[in-house]
Structure 1
Amino acid sequence: MSIFKKLAELVKPRAGSDPSGTLTIVYRLLSEFGRGHARSYGLAFAFMGAGAACTAATAYLIGSAVNQVYVNKSFYGVAAVSLAAIVIFAVKGVATYGQAVTLARISNRIIAGNQKRMFDRLVRQNLSFFTDKHSSEFVARVNYGAGAASGVLNALITALGRDLLTLIGLVAVMVYQQPLLSIVGLLIMPPAVLVLRTLIKRVRQITMTQFGGTVMILQALQETVQGFKIIKAFNLEGVMQERVYRHVDAIEQASNKLARVQNRSTPLMESLGGTAIAAVLMIGGYSVLVLDATPGGFISFITAFILAYEPAKRIARLNLELQSGLVGVRILFELLDLPTPPADTRTARLSVSEGRVRFEAVEFAYRPGEPVLKAVSFEAAPHKVTAFVGASGGGKSTIFNLLLGLYRPQAGRILIDGQDVAEVSPESLREAFAYVGQDVFLFHGTIRENIALGRRGASDDAIVAAAKAAYAHDFIMAFPDGYDTKVGEQGAQLSGGQRQRIAIARALVRDAPIILLDEPTAALDSEAESYVQAAMGELTKGRTTLVIAHRLYTIAHADRIHVVENGEIVEAGRHEELLKKGQRYATFYQLRLSEPGAAEPAGDAADGVMRAAV
């Protein structure tokens, strides 16, 4: 039975125990992480045992040296002790090195594994999981929690290996040399332990305060970087400084309080230790001077007692020190224990020949009792453009979310070339689509890397061809580093129109049969829009295209326009037909034209994407 199995059985909590209690968390740590690295920890434990033996041998050796000099007056005896000292310290050096390297490797392995597990847990969540949480919270949890498990395990194994074994070895020397004096050393333990027990709960509370403050600082810093333009435009520097300073001050106060609480026992323990040493000196001195005991035994005892004081103090404070680390472990387990959707077992692959998309009485709600789509039915014909218009919140983007498999409808069916998407794997479903939205997300890296994300293994020739088709090649080559230009966080180094064209190139290199365009020109000026419209014209050629439009002139030549309101399709037809009806589309169109800056641009830019597709 391994040491971790024995430890796990020793701290195994009773039925009904607090799942976040110290014993429960330690038991789970030993079971999930300790056992998996039992051999490596065993090796580290062996190195610690060798180091502890060397420390005890050092205390015994000092007494022997004193006796060889002052009692035996033997030079050869002193030489032998000196040689033994060289060997002992050499072995201790090797043992210390082996212990440190072994623990570091285990720690790195556990941290890497936890980071992967935490990321896997997050990436398996549904889209709705992230809607009410700030991204900085996840960053803080991954950074804070990943290393906590190895830190606590290392503290435990160090306390059991280095400190406990060293203490046992030194106590053995003390008892062998001076049995009666050894009793004095034990007197300092009970009061010290009683004091430490009262501090543990306080440490846990303060550490949680520190973590909460750290999350808020990360949130403010992230928002400052991402919203720097808004901060400058609205003179919000003072507001953000006040927000950050407030949390920084709170963390500083919590850290100071933690330092006071963690070290509150130090004066008592040092005083008790000094009292014990004074008593030992008095009794030992009396034994040597009055009772003619050998000085070597007394010196050896004093050396062992002084060397034992630090490991004894660390063991006494172990529970107190663990509380800070256990906060991080609780955060780790909270994330690892997140409920995840059942594993998707669908293996059937979607086969797209024409690219016909059909909704049959589809119903969907993000929250119970609040329907977003109400029995929506429509068909997007192959190689044609199908547009969706309507006020915000009507359900247009939800249609795209369902097509991409981000959510499943509560009723009805979604068919692609007659195949129910509920019966095919999400991976094969998403391979059928290329998506371009109004809020372009570019990943940190180069332009080349961002375009290549559209299709794994895309060649340089395919990347350049996609960029040319997206009217992005010229501005890319104008950069000194060309396709190796860094885009910055979320594409901050590029203009809005450039980011859109990179996104279109990413969609082009994917070469998917169905295109989803979610208001891709809504936030662009006329010049940028003309380039993006031309790029989208290339993207949609020969492909089934579904587009959500804000600027209605961009979908004037669509093959089919659906007006979506309150989760229902209230009108459908071509542009001219809907205008002649004079109903919702016509009203919506007139409202859009009356908005400032809504005049139709001249030439092909007015209907570039639709005319190219049709």
Structure 2
Amino acid sequence: MHNKKVFTGCMIRHGGLLAAEAILALAVSVILVQGNKIISGVIDEMLSGRQVLFGSFLLQFLIYTVVGTIAAFLQSAAANRYAVAVCTEYRDLVAEKLYRTEYKYFDANYSATLLNKVIGDLGEITSFLETVLPDMIASLIGIFTYAVYIGETNLGLLMVILITYPLIFWIAGKLVKRIRGLQANYRQKTDVMAQIAQDAVSGILVLRSFGIEEVFRKKMHKASVELVENEEKRTQITNTAIVVRKLIQWLPNIISAVYAVWLVSRGAVSLGGLVGFILILSKFVDAYTGLPFAMVDASTGMVSVDRVEKILSAEEEPSGEGCADAVTRAAENVIAFEKVDFSYHENVPVLQGLTFSVKKGENIAFVGESGGGKSTIFRILCGFYEKTAGEYRFFGRRIEEWNREALREQIALVSQNVFLFPTTIAENIAYSKPGATKEQIVEACKKAQIHDFIQTLPEGYDTMVGERGAILSGGQKQRLAIARAILKDAPVLLLDEPTSALDVETESGIQEAISTVMAGRTCVTIAHRLSTVQNADRICVLRQGRIAECGTHEELLKQSGVYAAMYGEEADHAEL
């Protein structure tokens, strides 16, 4: 079981509200007991022939009723405030954790599963705090208060009850284990359904193009059947628990009531005391039997806490304290890799002793075979992944010393897979520079050669782009990504195969926009098409995580090595 230290910490920090809730629950129980004592006393007085002052009795009873109602209302309010306070803090901590978690955690975990934990499991935890926990507190306090009253009435009565009820806790313990396992299984199966649904929605074009809708329908049906079967088992156990609970309540009730009548017949308990006992017994039984079954319900919430704590226990992205300053930005060497190694999996090296440097204002490109380590270089440059050996310096400062957010502020990235949020064009561009004015956004779009197209749209810059920019072409998305980079105005520009998925005509237009954003910046480009990097100051050819060749386009062609062979193949392909 995972340590619930974060959740427990949230509960403790708001413990004042929980204490208030408990005190008010105690007040409600005590008031109920005191009201019961008044009724018992009145009955005994009437039976003894003494005169009963009903005015005084009713006034006392009315006062207890009003005070009890107010206490019950305040108890409910305290419980709600406690649940809201704990849930709000816990949600905030989960959100903050997701932003700080290492990038590789997201690579290793399905996004649908993470969303299911953030939404579904946090919902279960909220339900536990709002309903189950207050019931448990009320039951615990009720058991104590009512036991004291019954013990005062007759110690033998209390002993009979305590002896006849332990069976409840034993049965509840068995049910908790069974239901907890089924609940964990249920949450895992909802993860699977969420994953299938996400794949179906995200890949709808592929599904329909290849006619494989039926495959996904069968997957979803299978997952749905398994989920229903699991819930049927859980429902059967829950229903059994309800029946068992009723049976357990009846037998001790009968035994206790018969024993109480016997005590009255012997004069050990007054008739008023018997009435009071019968009245309070139902409350005691509800609390006593309610507690273990509330524990069964609580097990559902604890399963969700376990799952969310897995997120909170994930490794965080390492970060130093260093930020960009005048001295840092004045460094001549902007990027320096010295014998850098990296592996995604043990014993499978991706980068091996990689050494290179990029001076201020220099334009360097990496080319090579797929899987050669080009994209990995960018992930390390941005601090998404940690090198396994060697040294990486950015503006002369070791990567370990950099605050990662401050480092990324110095970098603008244009990726081959442009991600657009389902909001307006203007908002998507402005994400690179929060607070940017409309004029700045428009100017960036003009430089990216996308302004004229935006103006043709009915709502212009306020046009919604749809999920992942569904209404835009690949070239239009790339231009918006370039506009974002221009607006950010960072000193370092990373271009991750920005034209690999575009046709030659579109590529030519994008290259003009890229040339605009490259001006005056230090640039590192990953290229699939060699035509996109011919003007680079230096081209490095990667093979098996090492630099095989390095030089200008002309120099590399003269060497008649790997680059020249790649260039020849590309030229032959273009002629076909």
Give the shorter-chain TM-score range: 0.7 to 0.9
How far residue 444 of structure 1 moved from its aligned partner, in angstroms, is 4.0
Q: Percent identity?
A: 29
Alpha-carbon deviation of 1:382?
A: 4.2
How far is the alpha carbon of 1:182 from its aligned partner?
Answer: 4.8
What secondary structure does 1:317 align onto? helix
CA contact (8 A) 2:249 2:289 kept: no
Write out aligned runs for 1:44-443 (5 A): 44-63=21-40, 77=54, 79-146=55-122, 158=134, 161-177=137-153, 181-279=157-255, 282=258, 296-340=272-316, 343-346=319-322, 349=325, 351-353=328-330, 356-357=333-334, 359=336, 361-366=338-343, 367-380=345-358, 382-414=360-392, 421=399, 423-443=401-421
Which residue, out of 27, 35, 43, partners 2:12? 35
Q: List per-residue Cα deviations over 1:534-588 (Å, max 9, x = no partner).
A: 3212211222222222222222333332222222222333334433443322221
Judge conservation of contact 1:34–1:153 (CA < 8 Å) in 2.
no
Q: How does 1:442-521 map to 2 (within 5 A)?
A: 442-521=420-499
Residue identity matched to 1:555:
V
Cα–Cα, structure 1 residues 190 and 143, in superposed 2: closer, same or farther, change >3 Å? same
Query: Structure 1 stretches of 5 or more lacking a match?
Result: 1-18, 601-614
* 3-state SS of paired residue (2:352): strand
What whole-Å deviation, never above 9, does each CA across 1:92-129 have from its counterpart, x for those lacking one?
A: 33222222222222222222222233333343333333
Give the aligned residue type for 2:243: P
- Structure 2's unaligned 5+ residue stretches are none
| Aligned equivalents of 1:32, 1:238: Cα separation in 2 | 47
- From the superposition, tell whether residues 103 and 569 of structure 1 become closer, same or farther in structure 2 (CA, over 3 Å): same
* Pairwise CA distance, 1:67: 6.3
Mean Cα deviation higher: 159-168 or 108-117: 159-168
CA 69–428 in structure 1, closer or farther in 2 if over 3 Å, else same: same
User: What are the Cα deviations for residues 333-366 of structure 1, in whole angstroms up to 9, with x where unaligned?
Assistant: 3332334455534457573348754545432222
- 1:522 is aligned to 500
1:219 CA displacement: 1.2
For the residue of structure 1 that corresponds to 2:365, the secondary structure is strand
Letter in 1 for 2:138: R
8 Å Cα contact 2:319-2:404 kept in structure 1 = no
Aligned residue for 2:436, secondary structure, equals coil
CA distance in 1: counterparts of 2:166 and 2:247, whole angstroms: 14
Aligned length: 574
TM-score normalized with structure 1 length? 0.82
Which deviates further from its counterpart, 88-97 or 447-456? 88-97
- Contact conserved, 1:518 with 1:548, CA < 8 A, in 2? yes
Deviation at 1:511, TM superposition (A): 0.7
| Residue pair 1:362, 1:375 contacting (<8 A) in 2 also | yes
SS of residue in 2 equivalent to 1:387: strand
Which stretch shows the higher mean deviation, 506-515 or 309-318?
309-318
Partners of 2:35 and 2:555 in 1: CA distance: 98
Q: Note the C-alpha offset of 1:212.
A: 0.8
Please state how far the C-alpha of 1:477 moved relative to its aligned partner.
3.3
Indicate if the aligned counterparts of 2:416 and 2:496 stay in contact, CA closer than 8 A.
yes
Find the residue that maps to 1:108 and give its secondary structure.
Answer: helix
Cα distance in structure 1, aligned partners of 2:263 and 2:348: 88
Paired letter, 2:140: L
AA aligned opposite 1:337:
S
**Shift of residue 303 of structure 1?**
1.6
> Aligned equivalents of 2:35 and 2:307: distance in 1?
43
Is 2:563 the counterpart of 1:579?
no
Match of 1:552 among 530, 534, 537: 530
Does the aligned pair in 2 maintain the 1:59–1:170 contact within 8 Å? no
Match of 1:11 in 2: none
Coordinate RMSD, CA, aligned: 3.4
Q: Helix, strand or coil for the counterpart of 1:158?
A: helix
In the TM superposition, residue 293 of structure 1 has moved relative to its aligned partner by 8.2
1:54-96 deviation digits (Å, cap 9, x = unpaired): 333444455456668887697851x544444443333333222
CA–CA distance in 2 between the matches of 1:413 and 1:291? 90
Deviates more, 1:128-137 or 1:141-150: 141-150
Contact 2:136–2:295, Cα closer than 8 Å, also in 1: no
Does the 8 Å CA contact 1:200/1:319 hold for their aligned counterparts? Answer: yes
Distance 1:144 1:502 in 2: 34
